[in-house]
Structure 1
C-alpha cells in the first residue's frame, strides 16, 4: 500500500554504513552511559558571568528600533520559580508580540536558548522539549526566552490581520531573538557566547524559519516534528484524514477501539524488520502492509478478529494521500507511517461514535483564518472542500509566507550553524515523511557531504507527536548540539528512554499530550475542550527500556543475544529501503524559493 521507498542495493548499504559507522557511539560506552553523559563530557565549561546592573534597570531598555514605535518592557523583576534565580523580563514588540526573557542572576554561562511554541501559539512557553537530562539546562545556566508569536489566546481570527499573519509566520521569533540579545548585553555587560533555538511542531517550523530566513540568529537549531509544510499540513492533510474516515452518513467509519486490531496486524507484518519483535516498527519505509490482510472473509467471522470492508477502505485512505480525481496526482507528500495506528485515536479516529476529533479542529482553524487569501466566507465547513489540484493552487500564494521547506541553507551553513532535525515515526499529527523529504531536498540542494557537515536527522520508533508513545521518547538533543557547536564534536547515536508507565488509554491509544506531559497547543491545548484526553501524562521515573537512535538513514538493529530492553544490545544497521521524493503537486515546495514577508 505505501509506495514511498525502494529496496537498497548491497553497494548502497555498504556505502551508507561506511559514512554512518564513524558517527555511532561505542557499545561499551552505551552500556555504561545514557548518551547524554557522553555528549556532556564534550561540552566546554564556560565561565559564569554575573550581572553588571540591577534587574529593574532593564525596564528602561529601548526596543523601538527592534519592534517599532510602542515596543516596550512591561516588567523586570527577579523570580525564583525556575531552575535558578533569574531576572524575568516581559514586554511587547509592536504591534502585539508578547515576549519573556529570563536571565539568571547567579548561574549564567554565556548561552542563550530560545524556545518555540506549538499549535498556533498564543502564549509563552519557556520549557523546551527533547532536553531530558541536559545538565546545563537543569542548573539554570541558560538565558531562556520565548514569544507568543504576536497574538494572545487560542482564537485563530488573528489570521484576518496581515501584520499578525507575518508576525506568526516569521517576524516574532526573529525580533524576540534580537530583543533577548540586547537584554543580555545590557544585563551582563557582554553578549552571549552562543545562541540556540529549540522547538517542536509549529516550534519546529519556527526553528527552520530561523535557519532559512535569519541564518545569523542562532549557532545551533533543534527542530522537532516540524510543521514546515504549514499550508498543506494544516489545511489538506488534516482535512483529508477526517474526510477519509467519514462515511456517506457523515459518521466515522473507524473508531478508536478498532485501532488495536489494525496495529497488531502491522506489527505482525513489519515489527521484525530490525531483527526483533518488540512492539515497534523501526523501519516503516520498508513496511509493506495492506489492511486488506485482516479484512473479514465473511459476515459470520468474529468482528473482533477482522476489519469490515468499509473499515479497510478507510484505513487505506488514512495511510495514503488525497489525490486529484482527474489525474490521480498526490496532493500531500505522505501520510502517517505504519506503526502509528494507536496514535490516530482522537486525532482523526474518534474515541466514540459521537466524539469530535482534533484533526477537524486543526483543519477548520487553518482553512477559515490562515491559509487562503482572502479567507473563505462565514459558515465554511470541511464538506465544502473538493480535494483536487485547484484546491492546492489556492494554497500556493501563502506558501512563501508560512512554510519552511526551503532547502538552501547555504547562509546558515556559512555562518557555522548546526541543525538537528528529529521526528517520532509514529507521529499522527505531522507525517515524518515531511522531515525525511526535507533532509532529502537539503542533500540534493547542497550535496550530501556538505549537508552532513552541519545537519543530522533522528527518527524515533514508536514516538508520537513531539513526545510520548509506545516507544522510547525521553531524549536529550540539546546536549549533543552544545557539544557540536562549541567543541566541534558531531553527534552520533543518542539514547532514548521509555518510562515504565506510558501514556495510554484503556484501549491502548495515546493521550493527546505534547512536550513535558502537557496537552499540546495554545494555553495547554491544541484541541477544543470537547476532545477527550485518552490518557494521562507520564509520571513514573522507572525506565522500561533504552534504545539508541542513529543519524538517518541508519537504524538500530538488535544484536540477537543481548537484553532487548538495553541500548547496548543494538548497533547500527541499514534500512531495507530508501526514501525517494514522490511525485506530488507540491514537490516544488522543497526547492529554493524567495520568502514572502506578508
Structure 2
C-alpha cells in the first residue's frame, strides 16, 4: 500500500471539487506523459509475468471525448490485459475493474460509479484483465496454472504491470489506486484485500462471488435441479413469476414501513408459497394459482439444500423474497426447453474447476449429491478460489478502505453471503476496528450487480475517493432509478438476460438514499417517496445474524493456497 507521505499530504490540501452532493474530494495535480504512447511497446514485463510477457499493441484513441493511450498485452502464460492511460488530464489515480461469471473477456464498463465526475472527466488510468483465459466456459480449469491465474494471480499481476506502465508513461507512480468489481469482480476485489493488501488504497466489492466453491457446486447446482421434474423438464417457467412476485409483495411489502413494491429487508418476510396452490380438484392449468409441483419447486428454490442426515443447511441462503422476477433465465427458463444460467455455470465449474481431479466429461447435475460429503469435497479447493477470509488486518494497517454492496433481489448470489462476510469481519477483528475501514450497503429491489425494481444507479466510487484521499467517512449514498431503465453489463456473466417486467418504467427519475448497514431508509410522513430528501435513517428492523450452516467455517481465517 502506498505510504501517506508528503506527496499525499500536498494532494489532500489542493483545491476541492464537488463530486457528489455532500461529498468533497481533493483534486490531485494533473500530470502529463513524458514519452509517446508507442514508446510503451518497449516496456519490459517479463520480470512481472515471466518469459513471453509483453505489451502487444499501443494506440491512441478517443473514448467518450477523452484522448487515451490504449495498451493491450499478455502476461504469461495467457493473461490478457488492457490499460487505458489519459493523454491529458491524468489526476494520478489508477482504477482497476473486475469481470463477471468465469471471465474470459476483458471488461470495459465501470459500474457503481454513476455520475462520478473525475471518472467522466478522464482523470483515471483504467485497467482490466480476462483473468488468464479467453472464452466464457470453464475448460481452462483443466490446466493447473490457469486455475491459479483465475483464482488470484491474474488480477494481482495486472495491477503490478499497469503500475509499471504508469511509471513509464508519466515518469511517476500513481498517488492512489482503486479497484471496483461485481460478481466475480467482487471476488477479485476481496482477493486483493486478503492476499495483496498493498495493491490498492480503496476497494469496492459488489455482489462478490467470494464463496465460489459452494456458490457454483451447490447453490447453482441445486437451483437447476430443484426446478427440474422427473421428465427432465422445468417445473416452473418465467410466465409464472409475476404471480409469485405479486403474492410476496402483497404479504411483505408493508413490513419495512413503506408500501413501495420493494422489500428493504427481505429477512422480515415469511412467505409460504402454499398460499398460491390451486384448489384440490383443479384439472387444468390456471393463471391465478400454482400447481402442487410448482409450489414444491418454489419452496426448494427459496430454501436451498440440506444434508439428508443432519438436516443442516448446505448453503448460506437462497434467493431472497422479492427477487422472483429476476429468476428468469437464471434458474427458471423463459420458455420450455430454453437453457438456464444455473445449470450452465454449475456444470462448467463442477466439470473443470471444483475438484482436485476433474470428473469424467459425462458428469451431469444428476451426479451431484447434496450432502455433507459433497460440501467437504468442495472445501478442499476453498483456500484457492474463495475470498471469505475475514483477516484483513494487513489491509487495514496499510490504510486500505473497503466498501461492500449487494442487491437484495440478486438471484445469482445470495446477499446473505455478503452479510456473512461483514459479520465475520466484525467477529474476527472487532466492530470498532472494522468500522474504521469498511462499510456495507444493501440495495432494495436491485438484481445482480445492476438493474431491478429498485433504484440501482449508484456511485460508490466518489465516496471512496473522499474516504481515501480526505478521510471523509461514507454516509448516505444516493441511488436512482431512471425512467429509461438502462441496462448494465457490469459484473454480468456473459450475455444479459433481462428479468420479467410486470410494471412500466417510472415516468420520472426516482431517488432514495442508501445508508450503511444496518440502518434503513425511512420515509418522512407525507413526503414524496421519489425524492431522496424525503428519507431519513432508521434503525434496523431485523437484527438476527445470518443462519448457521454446514460451511460456516469457510468464513473464518484460513491459509490461502
540, 543, 546: which one aligns with 1:581: 546
547, 550, 554: which one aligns with 2:515: 550
Alpha-carbon RMSD: 1.9
- 1:240-259 Cα distance to aligned partner (Å, 9 max, x none): 01111112222211111111
Residues 242 and 500, structure 2, Cα contact 8 Å, conserved in 1: no
Secondary structure in structure 1 of the residue aligned to 2:287 = helix
Q: Distance in 2 between matches of 1:85 and 1:424?
A: 34
359, 364, 367: which one aligns with 2:342: 359
Q: Does 1:565 align with 2:537?
A: no
CA apart distance, 1:274: 2.4
41, 47, 52: which one aligns with 1:70: 52
Partner of residue 431, structure 2: 448
43, 60, 64: which one aligns with 2:25: 43
- 1:198-252 Cα distance to aligned partner (Å, 9 max, x none): 0000000000000000000000000000000000001110110111111222221
Partner of residue 591, structure 1: 556
Q: Distance in 2 between matches of 1:412 and 1:282?
A: 31
Secondary structure in structure 2 of the residue aligned to 1:42 = strand
Partner of residue 175, structure 1: 157
Secondary structure in structure 2 of the residue aligned to 1:269 = helix
Q: What are the residue-to-residue correspondences of 1:112-151 with 2, within 5 Å?
A: 112-151=94-133
CA apart distance, 1:353: 2.2
Partner of residue 520, structure 1: 492
Of 474-483 and 241-250, deviating more is 241-250
Partner of residue 201, structure 2: 219
Q: Distance in 1 between matches of 2:21 and 2:203?
A: 20
Residues 325 and 500, structure 2, Cα contact 8 Å, conserved in 1: no
Q: Distance in 2 between matches of 1:378 and 1:261?
A: 39
Provide structure 2 residue ranges, at least 5 long, that are not aligned to the other structure.
1-17
Q: How many residues align?
A: 541
CA apart distance, 1:326: 1.4
Secondary structure in structure 1 of the residue aligned to 2:20 = helix
365, 375, 382: which one aligns with 2:365: 382
CA apart distance, 1:293: 2.2
CA apart distance, 1:168: 0.4
- 1:451-481 Cα distance to aligned partner (Å, 9 max, x none): 0110011111110000011110011100010
TM-score, normalised by the number of residues in structure 2: 0.93
CA apart distance, 1:542: 6.9
Q: 1:543 to 1:221 in 2, by over 3 A?
A: farther
435, 439, 443: which one aligns with 2:418: 435
Q: What are the residue-to-residue correspondences of 1:252-263 with 2, within 5 Å?
A: 252-263=234-245
CA apart distance, 1:447: 0.5
Secondary structure in structure 1 of the residue aligned to 2:378 = helix
Residues 50 and 106, structure 1, Cα contact 8 Å, conserved in 2: yes
Q: Distance in 2 between matches of 1:329 and 1:533?
A: 34
Q: Distance in 1 between matches of 2:544 and 2:186?
A: 21
Residues 497 and 543, structure 1, Cα contact 8 Å, conserved in 2: no
CA apart distance, 1:547: 1.2
CA apart distance, 1:53: 1.3
CA apart distance, 1:543: 4.1
Q: Distance in 2 between matches of 1:514 and 1:438?
A: 26
Provide structure 1 residue ranges, at least 5 long, that are not aligned to the other structure.
1-34, 504-512, 527-531
CA apart distance, 1:276: 1.5
64, 78, 85: which one aligns with 1:103: 85
Partner of residue 310, structure 1: 293
Residues 416 and 546, structure 2, Cα contact 8 Å, conserved in 1: no
CA apart distance, 1:391: 0.9
Q: Distance in 1 between matches of 2:261 and 2:254?
A: 9
441, 444, 449: which one aligns with 1:466: 449
Q: Does 1:281 align with 2:263?
A: yes
- 1:285-305 Cα distance to aligned partner (Å, 9 max, x none): 111211122222333499322
Q: Distance in 1 between matches of 2:65 and 2:372?
A: 51
Q: Distance in 1 between matches of 2:427 and 2:116?
A: 33
Q: Distance in 1 between matches of 2:535 and 2:321?
A: 22
Q: Distance in 1 between matches of 2:125 and 2:142?
A: 34
CA apart distance, 1:579: 3.8
- 1:513-532 Cα distance to aligned partner (Å, 9 max, x none): 6535xx933xx427xxxxx7
Residues 115 and 144, structure 1, Cα contact 8 Å, conserved in 2: yes
Residues 313 and 550, structure 2, Cα contact 8 Å, conserved in 1: yes
Residues 274 and 556, structure 1, Cα contact 8 Å, conserved in 2: no
TM-score, normalised by the number of residues in structure 1: 0.87
Q: Distance in 2 between matches of 1:462 and 1:535?
A: 13
Q: Distance in 1 between matches of 2:336 and 2:76?
A: 46
Q: Does 1:496 align with 2:484?
A: no
Residues 460 and 477, structure 2, Cα contact 8 Å, conserved in 1: yes
Residues 465 and 514, structure 1, Cα contact 8 Å, conserved in 2: no
